[in-house]
A and B are shown apart, each in its own frame.
Chain A
Amino acid sequence: MTRAGKNSRGVVERSLASFVDALEHAFYAEELAKKNGLLQKLDPRVKIVAILPLIVIAALARRLWVIAVLFALAVAIALLSSVPLGTLARRVWLGVLTFTGFISFPALFLTPGPAISSLPLLGWTVTAQGLRAAIYLIMRAETAATFSVLLVLCTPWSNVLKALRVLRLPVVLVVVLGMTYRYIFLLLRNAHDMFTSRKSRIVGRLDGPEQRRAATASVGVLMSKTIQLSGDVYLAMRSRGFQGEVYVLDEFRTNWFDWAMLALFITVAFLAFWFGR
């Protein structure tokens, strides 16, 4: 078997794994959104209005202790919302640390300033300013990402989309996003079934060009099915009275708890903004 063949097979298998992972992740998120925690109790619109400023302030704050307090607040909210810290560590903190660590690594050595250490063997010197810049970048990214993920994990995606209307997004855009979310799973499942079905009928291994031809054909079939589906969905909408303008229900209702929590979050955001200037 050629090296190209091995690589192509790896791509197909990785694609399959990522399809399944995407589905499992979506199921897990919806299970978390049903739990009886702090964020889950809040009106989705309140959650968006309360958490978005915290994300922005975490990204802009100039004092490390303010970012650290915001990060601690995010962890506390996660615990009060029944979000396992292990899940956050695996899905957010580790990934963000790897990504931002990779980006900020050169800054450790290239930022001018007094040297505080040096790498063994290579002899590259780490500067105080470089270390400070890297820590800022990582902490800001970790905190902002934690708040963002909490918002998504503790709210059914459909409600997140509807709540975006509070930010004056047009109804048609919210509906299109909702339908995209709805059908992406169907298409993922179709793609998964197609790959599995082909894999079950292949004896031996295909070489690189054969793999690429098969993958291209699958993409073509999937595209064709998608076009057919979109036409059928339009007919189903038309059948129930759709004439080009969508009317939707806005079923959210706020109570005193929502307003109290909104006031608390806004106060925290204001204090973080004030002390983090």
Chain B
Amino acid sequence: MTDHLLEVRNLSVDFHTAGGTVHAVRNVSWHLDKGETLAILGESGSGKSVSASAIMDLIDIPPGEIVSGEILFNGENLFAMTQDQRREINGRRIAMIFQDPLSHLNPVYTVGFQIAEAMTTHGISKDEARRTTLDLMKRVGIPNAEEKIDAYPHQFSGGQRQRLMIAMALAVKPDILIADEPTTALDVTVQAQILALLEDLQRETGMGLLLITHDLGVVAEVADRVVVMNAGEIVESGSAAQVYRQPVHPYTKTLIAAVPGTGAMAEPLATGIKPILEVNHVSKHYGAFVALEDASLTVLPGETVAIVGESGSGKSTLAKTLLRLEEATGGEALYKGRDLLTMPRRELFDIRREVQMIFQDPTQSLNPRMSVFQIIAEAFAIHPGILPKPQWRGRVRELLEHVGLNATHMDRYPHQFSGGQRQRIAIARALALEPKLIICDEAVSALDVSIQAQVIHLLEQLQRDFGLSYLFIAHDLPLVRDFAHRVVVMQGGRIVEQGPVAQIFDAPQQDYTRNLMAASLHPDPEIQAERRAARQQAQEEYA
């Protein structure tokens, strides 16, 4: 009847909740062949993970309900099978890896035991399982596999844990590997390695790879075909290049247009202006651990300075030190000529008005028990000099309008807003104090691409209107490329390179910067193919 390895036909899944029935996916159909990589692309809430959950029998029924459709694996309908038959397929024939490997590895067992367990439960002897485990760990690139086989999950880095998850999934030689956002939690250089590993393994074993992602760059890097989902429906499907080059559906068009890293780069601001912030040789040590060493940079009025680097590079430590959330070990940070790091509390209180921060995750940075009005007006309550109480509501309304919300939102609570709206509230709160400098710590990285573009646009507009300066901390290079005037690259607590955005992106001087640039993914499959070729060439030369 069918030649496809896996086929989903007209699948509809509903979730019955207290607030009513949610149609998670409607009439979704796609297929996956042997040796092929299919990407399901979508933003949060688009239902991109639901069909994978249905395949793996991970949907809780109730509240979930499979309303219609069938899933054919080798021509057999999974929904018609018994629980035992499905268990036999899950794990053995179809394996899955997840976004956050730490929460899917049991912390109290050694990794060797956990990988071998996948095999022993499917009837392979213990000795053989251990031998295979060792081979697998070597194959996925774990150094010193002989020693590490008896180590516990916390002793591995994030990238290594994802490699271990892959090893676990491959232990029983599945026909299909489902990867749900496998690289979202990882640094760009590690992401590139994991994707390369997945591709190598696929070539060796001929398995079908189903990749669920929100990142067009990942799609461009590995996918043969792509299915674009929005609000529970498939809006477009086709080859990766075709969908990127000639998107038909309006949603796909806006999605592709929103992807950063393709616009014009900003010109550096004229020199000779007095900097608003001058950071000189700041360092922060935690005991013997050096989190930040000899960091120096300047920010001009109306300028956006981006700090990029991988996790552990010290970029967030720098932000926290500047805001005195952490006390610096040494150095100075002159804000309008006054040192932020040694300033007495009294003076610091006044400076708090002028230097504000926007945090990474708006879900956590807004107090869930305060209404939007209370959250924003808190600025006026803390700094009594700004505004007399009767005018608070009016001013909050004005601020909400500045950030694209309106007065009706004032008495609602944070959980009633979407992620992008919450970040707008956080921005309104920062603006309430009329700051001159805003430190954005990964301010948009928790948001979907299209929302990200809107928030960045808002920040740009506010910069034009109020002459704000931004210290923009990010790990997402394409975003920085579009937004920043100048870029500071950090690694291991030190600044390795800084300069105007065009110089950093077009003519990076340091090896580390070049590696970082090479590892970042471009949404265009053709450009990405060229980059990959260049990267492989570089690797071969290096070897």
> Is chain B a partner of chain A in the same complex?
no
- Give chain A's interface residues, CB within 8 Å of chain B: none
- Give chain B's interface residues, CB within 8 Å of chain A: none
